[in-house]
Amino acid sequence: MMPFLEVKDMRKQYGAIKAVDGVSMKVGPGEIVGVIGPNGSGKTTLFNSILGQIQPTSGNVEFCGENITGMSPLELSRRGVGRTFQTLQVFVKLSVRDNLIAAAQEFKGTLGSRLFAKNDAGLGGHADEMIELFRLKHVAKLPAGSLSYGQQKLIDIAMAFMPAPRLVLLDEPCAGVNPSLVDQLRELLVELNKTQGGSFVVIEHNMDFIMKLCPHVICMVEGKVMAEGPPAEVQANRQVLEAYLGN
Amino acid sequence: MTTNLQKLGLLAGVIIFALLPLGLKSYGVYLCTLFCVYLMATFGLNLTVGYAGQMSLGQAAFLGIGAYIAAIGMKAGLPFMVMMPLAAIACFAVGLALGFPALRVQHHYLAFATLGFNILVYLVMRNEEKVTGGTFGISGIPRPSLFGYSLEPSLPFFWFTLFFTLLVIGMLWWLLRSPWGRAFAALRDNPIRAESLGVNITAYTLLAFAIGAACAGVAGAFFAALVQFIEPAPFHFSWSLMMLLGVIVGGSGRFLGPVLGTVVIVLLPEWLRFMQNWYLAAFGFAVVVLMIWLPGGLLSIPEKFARKGAVK
């Protein structure tokens, strides 16, 4: 079966520093793949190279058989590729509901037709469903910037799923999130994977979260793939343990 | 309930303002009309700066382009109702062209790019005598007539200007209530995230500039018909700074912010004239105090008091 996303020999070099050094990976349709590794191992650089945020030094990215290497984030979003960022990226002055509508409205109609469209671009119902799913109903009308970090993180993630993307790359979704919310977040991602049917690639440092969520895990160390496979196998890999804990 | 009260208050305010010139002398009527003219320009600038987050110091240039196009056309015998939309279209087109640097630079770099544009336009107005009349300007600009009824007297012209000011404000309200308004806000708050969510930041940046410029173009056409004599001075970049000040003092990104801001830049200096030689110093001091006490603009006063109440 043709992979949904295929990264071939991706390299990104900053002077003498090889941030990503020949990484290849495959993601199947509907699959959830976890990417782990110590700080500075090149995970976010790999994401940014795949997603057109930075230009890779060499290598190829194919999405549904199409070469998408170096495409802009705008072009990728139109092909159904979504993402979240390592840091919070919400529209702080917009309400929670408007954040969600803003996340999907550009996929409805044309630029010209949106000028004459209803205020919610016909997405109000879907936004309310996501608000319900992410348990944000009590703050739906408040500006996103006025909420707690954890709540903004939930908005951030909900926004990525609003347009029902075919592929979502999540960069540290648990970072800064209250431990009591982590399980809720995992359940939400499982639910979205079932209902929307997209493929997810998740970077995360929370091992418990990633081991429970992802049937396939890739471990990166110093820009290279050190190990990959089922979570238990990767967790037991001696090289992986050394990379995390030292000799 | 509050919203209905606010709407009623707004309507009452518009009616009172529409009737106000009946009790004023001709200079008072002129000031009210000038207030309307600058209101169109500052509402347009609020779209560019407050909603789309693009810094612009070139609004006076668009006001000037609109004024000169309308003046030249009307002197050639073309009706105002033809020249006003032409001025808007021309400014829209120039705004699109100016928007391109906005795609490459941001914040203070963009401010300087637009400032340079204003200086360039000012120099063209001053030096291209054959077209613009240079420092002698263009005089004898006729006031429009409507269905054969002359708008030469100051009162009918004020109501005519007020009607179009409300029309421009209404169109901007409708635009900002559409999904475009949300896209502008997304572009202002977080362009990187906006692009990853399919917002075409190139198109929206250009549109924000062009629509803001078109509003100034319409204002320029009314300005020419109001003063009936134009020369480059009112389109100097210092007036772009004043309009930006109006937007920020009123409350950048707040829909009715430019109303209060334009009161400050157009009417406050007139009210302070009793101070004679000190009035500009007093105006400057008032602005400094406002900016320190109310960085969110005059419309942020209720929020400021609400926050104080919450702290207590």
Q: Which of A53, A193, A55, A69 is nearest to B193 (CA)?
A: A53
Nearest residue, CB atoms, A77 vs list B182, B186, B196: B196
The answer to whether B195 contacts A82, with C-beta atoms less than 8 Å apart, is no
A204: closest CA among A129, A153, A155?
A: A153
A-B CB pairs within 8 A amount to 89
Domains of chain A in start order, with CATH, are: 1-80+165-247 (3.40.50.300), 90-163 (no CATH)
Q: What are phi and psi of A227, to 5 degrees?
A: -155, 150
Are the C-beta atoms of residues B37 and B258 closer than 8 Å to each other?
A: no
B190 → closest Cβ in A72, A73, A91: A91
Instruction: Classify residue A186 as left (phi > 0), alpha (psi -120 to 50) or beta.
Output: alpha
CA-based nearest residue in chain B for residue A103: B197
B chain contacts of residue A94, beta-carbon cutoff 8 Å: 182, 185-186, 189
Q: Which residues of B touch A163 (CB under 8 A)?
A: 197-198
pLDDT at B312 over 60: no
Locate the chain B residue with the closest alpha carbon to A163: B197
Determine whether A77 is exposed, middle or buried from the number of CB atoms within 10 Å of its CB (0-12, 13-18, 19+). Answer: buried
CB atoms B182 and A116 under 8 Å? no
In this complex, which of B182, B189, B200 lies closest to A74 when CB atoms are compared?
Answer: B200
Residue A219: strand, helix, or coil: strand
Q: Which of A82, A89, A116 sits opposite B192 (nearest CB)?
A: A89
**Is it true that domain B2-311 has CATH number 1.10.3470?**
yes
Q: What is the pLDDT of residues B230-285, one digit of tens each?
A: 999 999 999 999 999 999 999 999 999 999 999 999 998 888 878 777 877 888 88
End-to-end Cα separation, chain B, in angstroms: 27
User: Quick one: what percent of chain A has pLDDT higher than 70?
Assistant: 98
In terms of Cα–Cα distance, which of A204, A162, A141 is closest to B193?
A: A162
pTM of the predicted model as reported, rounded to 2 decimal places: 0.87
What is the pLDDT, as a whole number, of residue B5? 87
Q: pLDDT tens for residues A38-47?
A: 989 999 999 9
| Whole-number pLDDT of residue A68 | 94
Mean pLDDT (chain B, rounded): 91
User: Binning pLDDT at 50, 70 and 90, where does residue B302 land?
Assistant: confident
**Taking the domains of chain B in order of start, what are their residue ranges?**
2-311
The stretch A33-40 carries a mean pLDDT of 93
